[in-house]
Structure 1
Amino acid sequence: MSSPKFRDLSSGSKSLVIIELLLFASAFLVSFYGNSVITIVEHIEIPKNFIFIYAFVFALVVQLSSLALGLYNSKLRESFRGLVRRILMSVAIGFFIVVLTNPLYAKNALPIELLAVASLISFFAICLFRYITYRVDFFGLNKRNVLVLGAGERASIIEKRMRRGVDRQCFFMHGFITMDGDSEQGIVNENKIELDGSLVSYALEHDIDEIVVASDERRNNLPVDELFACKIRGVEITEILDFIERETGQIAVNLIYPSWVIYSNGFASANHLRNTLDWIFNASIAFFLFLVTWPVMLITAILIKLDEGMKAPIFYLQERVGLDGQAFNIYKFRSMRVDAEKHGAQMATENDDRTTKIGKFIRKYRIDELPQIYNVMRGDMGFVGPRPERPEFVQQLIKTIPYYNERHNVKPGLTGWAQLKYPYGSTEEDSLEKLKYDLYYIKHRSFMLDMLILIRTVEIVLFGKGR
């Protein structure tokens, strides 16, 4: 693909080019005039009236390398880390070119140290500026113009799940193309499109960045040739399952079909180093957490005794299902009455009337979960993972919810993605919603995602946002 020309750029990209050109020039001027404050190079023999010309040339060279590396391409879909790599490369190339052409200035040649400082300042200034635009999206560069192929029941998941503006921060919804075989119980309020001509022509005419395939009937119904033509013209083609997974942080279990599982990266971890070090990492954090929280646990035990009598048990042991379906006993501070399950096993609810006075407090701040540090040290659980359920519920849920057993591919955890995204649930529908988040975590589990979940959990504990 050839490098984009300035006239071919979008208005947002052109604004970005002009602003960053000024930032590059300003970085050069800061390095030059800052040299008089913090001396890096002594006796700079450059005519003062030439400084702005030098600054413009420096900025232009770095700008051209940025343009060549696609930093102003409105269709560029990069993470911020990817943007930083491109910025570093463009600044490095610009510095290299400026150094090569520097001898052409003869006696007015610029000190290489000054160019290096200007390049360093440019890098950090542009990274900061791009970070702000990446988060706030001033120029609309991060938002994709999305067209959905299908307007039936499958496509309606997008309308139902992502109907608010906050759910569409990363894309504009252009519309939904009606297809043969689409259910009538589909799109209601969105823009429905009756396509008469070519899909390729329509996509190019309306600057579509991504086409989401969401038709109800696929057999001999998809315009494969046209989708292929769109693909080679730079339009991204995405399956609806992948689109929902990317935008919502959950996997639409009710839409999963076997071939999607086969061709995806699956739900089993392929990170063998992580699996090997998993227990060491979790046990070390558990031991440290015990040293910090043992006074809280001691006070909690005393309060439980004072609230319900000296004969009342402090801990509550309950059988749960763990890794590979193996059962183990979970340890918790008792937050419910002793006779809470005299009528059999029941799922906990948000405002459970079986909860004691002390139990309401320790559940709100997740203090009741602290004895599970022992389960982590034993290796039954990790800090992050799907919450383990009771065997009675698991047996029933496996029969009624597809792919429910996949959540047992990893160790259960004290906290998890589903706990952050979904409140207490007592119904089968709630279990299905939590499973969508659990499968997303299992598929994408990484050290960074675990850290994000732990940090969010600490926020919940400190500010009493437990649900």
Structure 2
Amino acid sequence: MIRKNQRFLTQLYILADFAFIQISFLLAWWVKFESGWIPKESALPVEIYAFWSIVYGVIAIFTGVLITIYSPKRKKRFSDEVFKIFEIHGISLFVLLSLMFFVKQVDISRYYLALYMIFNVFSILLYRYFVKRSLKHFRKKGFNKQFVLIIGAGSLGCKFYDNLKLYPELGYEIVGFLDDNRVWDPAEKVRYKPILGTVNQLEEILESKLIDEVVLALPLDAHPKFAKIVAICEKTGVRTLIIPDFFDYLPARPYFDNFAGMPMINVRDIPLDLAGNKLIKRVFDIVFALFAIIITSPIMLLVVLGVKLTSPGPIIFKQERVGLNRRTFQMYKFRSMRILPEGTIDTGWTTENDPRRTKFGTFLRKTSLDELPQFFNVLAGHMSVVGPRPERPYFVEQFREGIPKYMVKHHVRPGITGYAQANGLRGDTSIEDRIEHDIFYIENWSILLDMKIILKTIVNGFINKNAY
């Protein structure tokens, strides 16, 4: 029944995508040629536009099948789907334009094409978001359930059970456990589903109960049983998932790599390791930094005058920080402190009412205006607009010993602002909490997340009570 439901949903998605592509054609045609909102120009017959819209629909569906956007989505995030939709329509537009060039159909209105693509992407994103939200709602209410059997009632199986209960919108119901040795105590009987039998009874259980997926949560010493379990599941047509007993060492979203023809689990999935993502982020950084420098240049000029008139010393303060791949660089700031005596090494945190600050420097730090020169660090390639905040080598050496995974932040360029800072973790706040946010950002990077962080930083304001 579940398989039929999935096939039915896949077919509906294909039909809906095709239908919304044709609706976008009608809307783009009306806006461009009939609404009067855009100056009229000589147009080809509507039948030609309709023909190419049908061709585009077929191309987009075929591309979607290749990119696997029509595979089961129950476990997937909507943000993954967003990226695939942009990818599909980018590829499809390229194929469409190539076909039109080949058959010499070059008179299609460019305004129409732009409107057509905007309506396509927007309408498909909108309806898919609505469908995903609706499915989650109905699954939470108990509809369209999938049934799961957990093999292994130890700590691993119990942890998976507890985690799955936190996501009722996924629509999974655990039927029970199989385990050779475990017996529930009275408290566990209330908390968990029953242990239905031993691992050797798996085939019998699968034949007698409706089960869609089997989750192996066995310890490493049970590895010899895996082959038989997987074979039984495949024989009965049930999907099998394996939770590795070393999952505590893995990130939230590990992925499989291939090395020398062998599948391997990559312990740290970093989207910015991909050349395409690196290029997108670097281009965005350069464009944004140039724009920010132009917009803030009058403010920077006033700050230069303020620093110069209120205290002796250089206008720009340079400080060694640890950046990408643990390489050090000189980070720029407008100077907010008094000049230290020659030979003095500064290894202290800035504190509230810090006597080293100038009066104007206090204002700069509170408003984050002292950070503006870092846009030049971005242009130089030392930093990114968004990323984990860089720290001084002295503190890096301290934190790397005491804070787990601290050094992971150096897998990407440091940023002027970051996911931690956008969520209020600035100044005198928990280093552990900041690192958790930094690792989330590193593992879940997208250009949309960068934009969201920048917007959140602007909306929340640059004044922060923890900024000393």
- Of residues 237, 252, 261, the one that matches 1:245 is 252
Q: What is the SS of the residue equivalent to 1:414?
A: strand
CA deviations 1:379-431 (Å, max 9, x no partner) are: 3323333321111111122223444334334332223344445713757xx43
Q: Quick check: 1:379 aligned with 2:384?
A: no
- C-alpha distance in 1, partners of 2:212/2:362? 51
Q: Structure 1: which amino acid aligns with 2:399?
A: L
CA deviations 1:1-48 (Å, max 9, x no partner) are: xxxx9993279959968x959978x969x89xx9xx9699799xxxxx
CA deviations 1:78-116 (Å, max 9, x no partner) are: 724546889999xxxxxxxxxxxxxxxxxxxxxxxxxxx
The residue that corresponds to 1:395 in the other structure is 397
- For the 8 Å contact 1:385–1:411, the answer to whether it is kept is yes
Deviates more, 1:147-156 or 1:403-412: 147-156
- For the 8 Å contact 1:323–1:412, the answer to whether it is kept is yes
The residue that corresponds to 2:193 in the other structure is 193
| Distance change >3 Å, CA 74–CA 310, structure 1 → 2 | closer
Q: Structure 2: which amino acid aligns with 1:131?
A: L
- C-alpha distance in 1, partners of 2:202/2:362? 57
The residue that corresponds to 1:324 in the other structure is 325
- For the 8 Å contact 2:211–2:238, the answer to whether it is kept is no
CA deviations 1:258-311 (Å, max 9, x no partner) are: x998645665965457768987774564344322211122233445567xx433
- For the 8 Å contact 1:267–1:443, the answer to whether it is kept is yes
Give the aligned CA root-mean-square deviation in angstroms.
6.3
CA deviations 1:157-185 (Å, max 9, x no partner) are: 9969x997xxx597356469697999x9x
Q: What is the SS of the residue equivalent to 2:221?
A: coil
Shift of 1:238: 5.7
- Of residues 429, 448, 453, the one that matches 2:450 is 453
- For the 8 Å contact 2:322–2:329, the answer to whether it is kept is yes
Shift of 1:370: 1.0
- For the 8 Å contact 2:333–2:371, the answer to whether it is kept is yes
How many residues are aligned here? 384
- C-alpha distance in 1, partners of 2:210/2:233? 13
The residue that corresponds to 1:171 in the other structure is 170
Identity of aligned residues (%): 24
- For the 8 Å contact 1:23–1:125, the answer to whether it is kept is no
- For the 8 Å contact 2:251–2:269, the answer to whether it is kept is no
Unmatched segments (≥5 aa) in structure 1? 44-57, 90-119, 252-258
The TM-score normalised by the length of structure 2 is 0.55
- Of residues 129, 132, 138, the one that matches 1:134 is 129
Q: What is the SS of the residue equivalent to 1:293?
A: helix
- For the 8 Å contact 2:334–2:370, the answer to whether it is kept is yes
- C-alpha distance in 1, partners of 2:136/2:278? 38
Shift of 1:203: 12
The residue that corresponds to 1:411 in the other structure is 413
Shift of 1:464: 0.9
CA deviations 1:287-341 (Å, max 9, x no partner) are: 44322211122233445567xx4337654433211233333332223456878xx
The residue that corresponds to 1:292 in the other structure is 295
- Of residues 4, 8, 30, the one that matches 1:8 is 4
Pairwise mapping of residues 212-227 of structure 1 onto structure 2 (< 5 A)?
Answer: 217-220=219-222, 224-225=226-227, 226=229
The residue that corresponds to 2:370 in the other structure is 368
- C-alpha distance in 1, partners of 2:84/2:5? 20
| Distance change >3 Å, CA 344–CA 156, structure 1 → 2 | farther
- For the 8 Å contact 1:415–1:454, the answer to whether it is kept is no
- C-alpha distance in 2, partners of 1:42/1:281? 38
- C-alpha distance in 2, partners of 1:417/1:260? 32
Pairwise mapping of residues 251-330 of structure 1 onto structure 2 (< 5 A)?
Answer: 263-264=266-267, 270-272=273-275, 282-283=285-286, 285-303=288-306, 309-311=310-312, 314-330=315-331
The residue that corresponds to 1:233 in the other structure is 238
- C-alpha distance in 2, partners of 1:73/1:87? 17
Q: Structure 1: which amino acid aligns with 2:332?
A: Y
- C-alpha distance in 1, partners of 2:162/2:390? 32
